[in-house]
Homo-oligomer: A and B are copies of this chain.
Amino acid sequence: MIEVVALDGDDTLWHNELQFSMTQARFCELVAPYAPDADLDDKLLSTERMNLTTYGYGVKSFTLSMVETAIEVSQGHVPVSVIEQILDAGKAMLSHPVELLDGVVEAVDALRDRYALLVITKGDLFHQESKLARSGLAERFHRVHIVSEKDEATYQRIIQGEGVPPERFLMAGNSLRSDVLPVAALGAHAVHVPFHTTWIVEHVEPEEAAQYEFSTISSLWELPSLIEQLDS
């Protein structure tokens, strides 16, 4: 019997990657005139990867990496007016309205009375709290965990904190890397809810995923009936 159901935030409850992609497109547009031969998407990704151990995840880290990349690829020729526009683009992301994915409200309402319902989301504490507050969903969750990394150790700590064995815990989210594989590895129930875009850093090769046991649904509103099936 599943007792605890945990949901991811970004691109599971609300849109996220779309805003990153749009801002990145704007970044390329702004910087391209000063680095006509550079593959800007690729350069930005290398900067982000390199900065991950110093900055961690989130919009502020992304903004700082955009500024750094703009200066680097232009060999210092990008004008400060572009830097200013990059800062503005970052701020716009932070204050962007929270847009829930289809079926989220229905799923959350169907789950909250029957299970201990958690959010487990990764990234910037301040921004994640702000998004949860603005989502209108905060009160419907029993507990919220904002973590810096979603690995086996993190999930183990949370499951232990809930005082249940792994087989009574279920996690659903869009990222195989962060929401599904580490949960499946612990012997808990993992549910993949793919989103059409995944950040390349979260990418998992099919052969790697094939080694784990998990369910896949196309929208969060399928989750309540999936759990009933798993329990029967």
- Contact A126 B63, CB 8 Å, known A76-B80, A78-B80: no
From B55, B67, B126, A55 is in contact (CB under 8 Å) with B126
A101 within 8 Å of B by Cβ?
A: no
Complex contacts, A14 vs chain B, CB 8 Å = none
User: How many identical subunits does the complex contain?
Assistant: 2
Least CB distance, A203 to chain B, in whole angstroms: 21
Q: How distant is the Cα of A77 from the Cα of B80 in the complex, in angstroms?
A: 8
Per DSSP, chain A at the interface is helix
In this assembly, does A160 line the interface, its C-beta being within 8 Å of a C-beta of chain B? no
Q: Is A159 an interface residue (CB 8 A)?
A: no
B95 near A54: Cβ-Cβ < 8 Å: yes
Partner of A124, one of B63, B77, B124: B124
* Contact-residue bracket for chain A: 20 to 34
A61 smallest CB distance to B (angstroms): 6
Q: How far apart are A121's CB and chain B's nearest CB, in angstroms?
A: 11
**A114 adjacent to chain B (CB < 8 Å):** no
Given A60-B64, A80-B83, A83-B83, A94–B54 Cβ distance below 8 Å?
yes
Interface residue A221 (Cβ < 8 Å from any Cβ of B): no
Choice from B76, B90, B124 contacting A84 with Cβ under 8 Å? B76
Scan residues 97-151 of chain A and give those whose CB is less than 8 A from a CB of chain B. Answer: 124-127, 129, 146-148
Interface residues of A in 53-67 (CB under 8 A from B): 54-58, 60-61, 63-64, 67
Contacts of A78 in B (CB 8 A): 80
A161 to B58, CA, bound (A): 28
The list of the 3 closest CB pairs from A to B, nearest first, reads A56-B126, A125-B125, A60-B60
In the assembled complex, 5 residue pairs joining A and B whose CB atoms fall closer than 8 Å, in A order, are: A64-B64, A67-B87, A76-B80, A76-B81, A124-B126
